[in-house]
Structure 1
């Protein structure tokens, strides 16, 4: 393909016929899109510097062996990359030469409505207002480069440009103890994930509804909010990324919005689930405007409201208290699920799930613990972990009453709650 592309460009520069190569459908299988000849060419041009850095310089040298430049070919260089980057002008000249109508058609591949831009495949770098738009270099995302080269999706690394980490779990739905109301509401989210495309496209609901799905999980810590998000992702083979709010929220005006925009842009059309854990810091209630700080804080909330509505996949917010979330968000949630502390019957199931299979515990004791101590699922797991370590230290295969109560006492101490032995 490199040699074909080379010949194609050389013949174009020499004003010869270029009908001997067709790039139609070149990347269709990998991208899941039917690509035209022009789209295939643009993709190859953007990809080439990543795999063949000297490609364009060698072509220019072949045209001008004694040295020279081709201004109409465009091109750009950077501090790190020594070779030439193709620009919008490069594509425009090779595909359209000086034919105005064709040049304008080429520009349409880089507008905001084209799937190149919508799916963050290829873009033209922003230039100064005084410079031609097409003079910006072609930018292909790292994920797209990896996909085209190796045929697999590249998961983003945690960084300043993507301050989010993937959340996974080894647990399954049968490990998640929930009441019937939560089960029904979780199932509603599952139905949306399964039938989103049918609902919006085949049934024509795209005009009446927003593109994505927004849900709020609220309730005390340790009641399974994050676990539920992880299990949804696991069931449908989708990654869920928990946003690191410490890296997102900034005291500087406009920086929070910029940080969030990086996340939403990367996540667009990727079938990712975005999880805003302890979302109060971002989605909190707007206040009356008494100072410039209040005004900018309200602008952040307004931006978030608009951006979350535009996101076309699943967004999950978690909070300890529903009332901490701005009412404008609450009105736009597709579902709001209340996670409560488990009942004695649910606690008994949680105790049974948490106890390792290779050890034993007195069934009557476990029933008493479930009845007398109001612990969340996370606290029960933590108490069992505590008791298990004490048992391992003594080379025991049984979780004793003493060790289990020690683990429960530890959980009560964390919350500074009074503890009494049964």
Structure 2
């Protein structure tokens, strides 16, 4: 199946590259006033892909892209799939022996070939036709699918330079779609400071008090019906996009697991951003780090889970110096991006009191994750052990649940310790002593004793 997708894309992209070659040939000829049958680059019709089932063809049809959009997409993809095609634009200064280009492109130290810019597009499709140049700006305006879906864009340039000097970039997702046909999920890096949350557990494995489950049901309903609410019911004019919620409670009470299971249950990817690691002391870096996540998340239906929310949304103090003002700018930026995001945003904190009241009012729900009750602890103990083991005769789960006040994460840690000690004895029967030792270790973490 993967091979089929690759082959279908290869055929269409090859045809598209040949079309691009023809356009470049015509532009070069027109530029030196050669006599040719074609009087305009737009006389070269793009290949017919109306019946193709490649990822590239589906992308073009889904957005009803025409000549200009197809040209921009294939031009932006060339440095990744056939960089030598644009070498025709690179020239060498006979005096200095330096490489240069007169066609708006860039020559990077990391890339030996020609990197197209907005000016490259203008040169090839518009030349000196000002009306056409002005029309070609539209694909890079905010209401165009290129911008709304982060398909193709121009990199930022300084204020003193035309935005058309920005390098032409294509999203990795689109590049995957039109080449291998398999869109890879982004991985954690400096360019994407978020991690995909995954779990092998199911929603039925989640053990929480009824009040918490009731609030989570409201979030689940929003995930199922928010598009219908906003579009079919025309509520986009009255409601803010997206849904914002705060999960708060002691460590190990299920905040991260619940976020993972909401995604697993409804088919959404969940990405965890640890704000304590994302916030930077350097001016502007925090905003850049967060922008990388939100820019990729646009129109992806991702659930964004911000852990350690106290790092930015803690109680505010009076503004005394430049550091305080900068911290407020970071908060303002994150609030703006959260409010503009049309998906589910979950912020997590150990204590509700750590979050400023002004921020709490912006959340649709505030969900408490308390330490589980004795009954809930009993259910957690029952579900925690492997099916491959047996419990010793002295193991009393009711006694454990009633005696030791532990969160779900701590119970899992204690079970892991007891299970490892059992395996080290070449046994499958878990003893009460090993469980108690595991509990003791968990108590010591929090400065408590059994």
CA–CA separation in structure 1 for the residues paired with 2:89 and 2:412: 64
> For 1:20-58, what per-residue CA distance to the aligned partner results, in whole angstroms no more than 9, with x for missing partners?
423687845147422222111110111111111110224
In structure 2, relative to structure 1, the CA distance for the partners of 1:224 and 1:60 (3 Å cut) is closer
CA–CA separation in structure 2 for the residues paired with 1:108 and 1:301: 32
Count of residues in correspondence between the two structures: 412
Q: 2:175 aligns with which of 145, 163, 172?
A: 145
372-381 vs 25-34, greater mean Cα deviation: 25-34
CA–CA separation in structure 1 for the residues paired with 2:447 and 2:401: 20
CA–CA separation in structure 2 for the residues paired with 1:232 and 1:280: 23
CA–CA separation in structure 1 for the residues paired with 2:291 and 2:89: 38
CA–CA separation in structure 1 for the residues paired with 2:351 and 2:49: 51
Q: 1:10 aligns with which of 7, 17, 25?
A: 25
Coordinate RMSD, CA, aligned = 2.3
CA–CA separation in structure 1 for the residues paired with 2:315 and 2:59: 44
Question: Who is 1:29 aligned against?
Answer: 58
Question: Who is 1:181 aligned against?
Answer: 211
Q: 1:206 aligns with which of 226, 231, 236?
A: 236
CA–CA separation in structure 1 for the residues paired with 2:375 and 2:252: 17
Question: Who is 1:242 aligned against?
Answer: 272
Q: Specify the SS of the correspondent of 1:395.
A: coil
* Preserved CA contact (<8 Å) 2:19 2:46: no
In structure 2, relative to structure 1, the CA distance for the partners of 1:376 and 1:99 (3 Å cut) is same
* Preserved CA contact (<8 Å) 1:212 1:314: yes
* Preserved CA contact (<8 Å) 1:249 1:256: yes
* Preserved CA contact (<8 Å) 1:280 1:324: yes
Q: How does 1:108-257 map to 2 (within 5 A)?
A: 108-257=138-287
- Does 1:392 find its partner at 2:407? no
Q: 2:316 aligns with which of 263, 281, 286?
A: 286
* Preserved CA contact (<8 Å) 1:8 1:21: no
13-22 vs 154-163, greater mean Cα deviation: 13-22
* Preserved CA contact (<8 Å) 2:193 2:273: yes
- Does 1:85 find its partner at 2:100? no
Please report the TM-score for the alignment, with normalisation by the length of structure 2: 0.85
> For 1:176-224, what per-residue CA distance to the aligned partner results, in whole angstroms no more than 9, with x for missing partners?
1112222222122122222222111111111111212111110111110
In structure 2, relative to structure 1, the CA distance for the partners of 1:404 and 1:42 (3 Å cut) is same
Q: Specify the SS of the correspondent of 1:410.
A: helix
State the shift of 1:382 in Å.
Answer: 1.1
Structure 2 residues without counterparts, runs of 5 or longer:
1-14, 31-37, 51-55, 92-98
* Preserved CA contact (<8 Å) 2:304 2:345: yes
CA–CA separation in structure 1 for the residues paired with 2:90 and 2:320: 62
